[in-house]
Every structure is written in C-alpha cells, then in structure tokens.
C-alpha cells in the first residue's frame, strides 16, 4: 500500500511540474494604449533577466535594430502594455528613444512573469 501511495504521489508531483513548465500563452507583445501591437515575439532575438533596484528588469534584443527606435520615437512619454498572451503583465512608460537593437523593460510584473516572458522569447 505504501508503494502505491508513493507512486501516486510521485506521479502527481511529476504531472504538476509538467504543467508549470508549459506556458499557457502563444505570444508576447508590447501594445499601445489603443491595443495596437507594436512588437511581438517574432520581433525579438533574445531576452534575459536582470535584478535592479528592488525590481526585476527584462533585457530584450531585437532582430531589427530599427524596431525599438521606431517604437520609442512614436510613443515617447506614453504608456505601453506588455502582454503574455491576453494577460497584461506590465505598463511601463517609454522614457527615451532607443537607437540600438536592445532595450531594458522595467515594469510592474512579477519575477515569474518576467521569467515566462524571457523563456518564451528564448525558446
């Protein structure tokens, strides 16, 4: 009986771990205030997490170096919205024009959300 209970517990643990690994969304995006997609996962080259000043920062590299410049020029001093699928995880304000192929996103997302964002980009 102990063997069966142990086997079932191990099976439930394994199933639970597999569910946490599977991301429940099919895209990440940055949208403007009207809901227009400014960039999506296909625009990103890679992403990483950086700890900074009591918050989690996400560093992203773009495939095309013109993408962040265009987005930040067109939406300077505006809020943009970061989505994991349909779930809004952050709403940072663009503070300066980015004229290189990478940028840092500081937002009100959790570490877990940042990790999901990064994992999805890097898959």
The rounded radius of gyration (Å) of the Cα atoms in the chain is 18
Q: Is the pLDDT of residue 108 over 50?
A: yes
Q: Is the pLDDT of residue 58 over 50?
A: yes
Residue-wise over 8-36: b if at least 16 C-beta within 10 A, else e?
eeeeeeeeeeeeeeeeeeeebbbbbeeee
Cα(118)–Cα(46) distance, integer angstroms: 8
> 1-44, pLDDT tens digit by residue?
443 333 333 333 333 433 344 456 889 999 999 999 999 999 99
Query: Residue 54: its pLDDT value, please?
Result: 82
Run of H or E residues at 40: strand 37-40
pLDDT band at 106 (very low <50, low <70, confident <90, very high): confident
Query: Residue 25: its pLDDT value, please?
Result: 80
Query: Residue 24: its pLDDT value, please?
Result: 67
Q: Is the pLDDT of residue 48 over 90?
A: yes
Where is average pLDDT lowest: 41-50, 59-68, 103-112, 113-122?
103-112
The pTM score is: 0.75
Calculate what percentage of the chain has a pLDDT beyond 70: 80
Give 53 or 79, the one with higher predicted confidence.
79
What are the angstrom distances between the C-alpha of 61 and each of 3, 34, 43, 103, 115? 50, 25, 9, 7, 15
């Amino acid at each position: 009986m102990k063997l069966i209970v142990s086997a079932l517990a191990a099976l439930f643990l394994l199933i639970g771990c597999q569910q946490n690994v599977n991301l429940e969304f099919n895209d990440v995006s940055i949208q403007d205030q009207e809901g227009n997609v400014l960039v999506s996962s296909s625009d990103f080259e890679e992403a990483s997490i950086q700890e900074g000043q009591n918050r989690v920062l996400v560093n992203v590299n773009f495939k095309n170096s013109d993408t962040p410049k265009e987005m930040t020029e067109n939406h300077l001093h505006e809020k943009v919205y970061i989505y994991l699928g349909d779930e809004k995880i952050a709403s940072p304000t663009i503070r300066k024009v980015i004229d290189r192929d990478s940028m840092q996103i500081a937002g009100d997302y959790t570490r877990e959300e940042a990790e999901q964002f990064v994992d999805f980009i890097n898959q």
